[in-house]
Amino acid sequence: MEYRIEKDSMGEIRVPKDKLWGAQTQRSFENFRIGIEKIPYELVGVFATLKKAAAIVNHRLNILDEERTHAIVAACDEVLAGKLDGNFPLSVWQTGSGTQFNMNMNEVIAHRANQLLTENGKTVVVHPNDHVNKSQSSNDIFPAAIHVAGVSLVIDKLLPAIAALKQTLQQKSEEYNHIIKIGRTHLMDATPLTFGQEISGWVRMLERNEEMLTIGINFMRDLAMGGTAVGTGINSPVGFGELIAAEITKLTEKQFHTAPNKFHALTSKDEVVAVHGIIKALAADLMKIANDVRWLASGPRCGIGEIKIPENEPGSSIMPAKVNPTQSEALTMVVAQVFGNDTTISFAASQGNFQLNVFMPVLVYNLLQSINLLADGIHSFNENCAIGIQPREDVIDFYLHQSLILITGLVPLVGYDKAAQIAKRAAKEGITLKESALATGEVSAEQYDLYMNPAILVKPR
C-alpha cells in the first residue's frame, strides 16, 4: 500500500494514498480497532446533508466565499451519490461525542473539494475545520444528525413497512370475518370470536403504532446546530440555528426546527429515548402478532393448526417434510434485538454529564439498527408469510364445537353456577353441552339454540 503524509495539531501520520481522509481520521482508525460495528451508512449521508446546509448558510451570511461554498456543496453531493464510499471507516467505539467521525466527514469533504477546485484551476484551499466545519462543533452536529437520521428513516422506511403489513392484515380481516372460531385466553379455551375480529386486533396494533410514531418523531425535529461546543453558540453567527434548520428542511423535504434550548439539545437525549420507546412498543406488538401466527399454524396435525402459512423452506436436516414458521422466528429475533437496543439507548441517554452526552455513537447505532431491522423484518414477514395466511376452516369448526366454554352463552339464562354444572357434566360423561343442558330440565331446545348460537355470541355489543 502506498501512503502520503498528513499533518494535524499532533504532528505527522501516514494515510493510505488512495483515501481522502486526513490525519484525525487515521488516528481514530488506528486507535479504535474495536469490534466490527462501523458508523451507520445512513449517518454518512445525513452528515453530508448537514455539511452542505452549513456551507450554504455560511455563504448566505457572507462568512464563506462562493468558490469554497460551491466546492464543499459539490463534494457533499458526491458523498450523497455514493461516489466517495470507502472513505468512512470509523468504528462506533470511539470518542463519545462522535468528534472523530465529524472530522472524518470534514477531512473527506475538504480533500475532495480541493481536488475539484484544482481541477477547475482555482487556487483557494478548503480547510476541514475552518471551512467545512465552520459555525459548527461535533457537539451540536452529531446530535442534530441523530435526529435527522432517525426522523428520516422512520418516515421513509419504517412507516411504509407498517402500512403495507397493516393493509395485508386488513384485507384478511375483512375476508375472514365470517369464520367463527374459538377464542383463547391464558392459552386456554375462551368464548368465540371471528377470525376477522382476531386479525382486526393485529390491524389496530399497527394502526396505533403508526399514530404514536407519527406523533413521537415530532420530538426529534428540534436540532442542536447553532449551539456549537456547550450550547452558547460560540463561533457561530447569530441566527445560524434558525437558518440551518430551514435549509435542512428544504434539503430533506422534512420539517425541522432549531432547538429552543441548545444546552438541553447537547446534553439530553430524552427525545431519542421517547421515540425508541415507541419503536419498542411496535416491537412488542410484532412479537405478539408473530407468536399468534406461529401458534395458530402449529402442528399442522398435532398442534392448533387453525391456519396455514406459506411453506418457504425445508425445516429440518433430519426430519423429512418438516416446515417451520421461519418468518415468525426471524421477526421475533428482531424484536429481541430491539429490546436490547432499548436498554442500551436508555443507559446511553442517561450519560449527559454536564454540557454533553458522550455516548452518542452507540446511541445512534442502536437507534438506526432498530428502525432498519424492524422495517426489514416487517417487510419480510408481510411478503413471505402474512400475505399467504389461510384459515383451515375444518379445524376451526372442530375446535369451536368441542369447546365447553361456549356454555358462557347460557349464563344469562341459567346463571353462572348452573352453567358450570352443565359444562362439567358434559365433560365428565362425554356428552355434548346441549345434551347436558337439556338433561337439567331447565333449558329447552329452542332456548339452547337461541342462547348458544355462535353467530350471536361473536356479535360486538
Q: Which of 178, 316, 401, 444 is catalytic?
A: 316
Q: In whole angstroms, what is the distance from residue 432 CA to residue 283 CA?
A: 42
Q: In whole angstroms, what is the distance from residue 216 CA to residue 371 CA?
A: 14
Positions of the chain with pLDDT under 70: none
Summarised one tens digit per residue, pLDDT across range 250-279 is 999 999 999 999 999 999 999 999 999 999
Confirm or deny that 264 is annotated as ligand binding: no
Q: Which three cell numbers stand for residue 132?
A: 467545512
Domains of the chain in start order, with CATH, are 18-134 (1.10.275.10), 150-221+268-394 (1.20.200.10), 404-456 (1.10.40.30)
Q: In whole angstroms, what is the distance from residue 449 CA to residue 434 CA?
A: 9
Confirm or deny that 138 is annotated as ligand binding: yes
Q: Which of 186, 264, 276, 370 is catalytic?
A: 186
Q: What is the pTM of this model?
A: 0.96
pLDDT computed for residue 45 by the predictor? 98
Residue 186 is a catalytic residue: yes
Q: State which H helix or E strand residue 266 sits in.
A: helix 262-267
Confirm or deny that 127 is annotated as ligand binding: yes
Confirm or deny that 317 is annotated as ligand binding: yes
pLDDT computed for residue 291 by the predictor? 98
410 contact partners, CB below 8 Å, separation of at least 6: 418, 419, 422, 437, 443, 448, 451, 452
Confirm or deny that 370 is annotated as ligand binding: no
pLDDT computed for residue 353 by the predictor? 92
209-243: string of b/e by CB count within 10 Å (b at 16+)? bbebbeebbebbbbbbbbbbbbbebeebbeebbeb
Task: Give the torsion sign (CA, 181, 184, 189, 191).
Answer: negative
Summarised one tens digit per residue, pLDDT across range 113-123 is 999 999 999 99
Residue 316 is a catalytic residue: yes
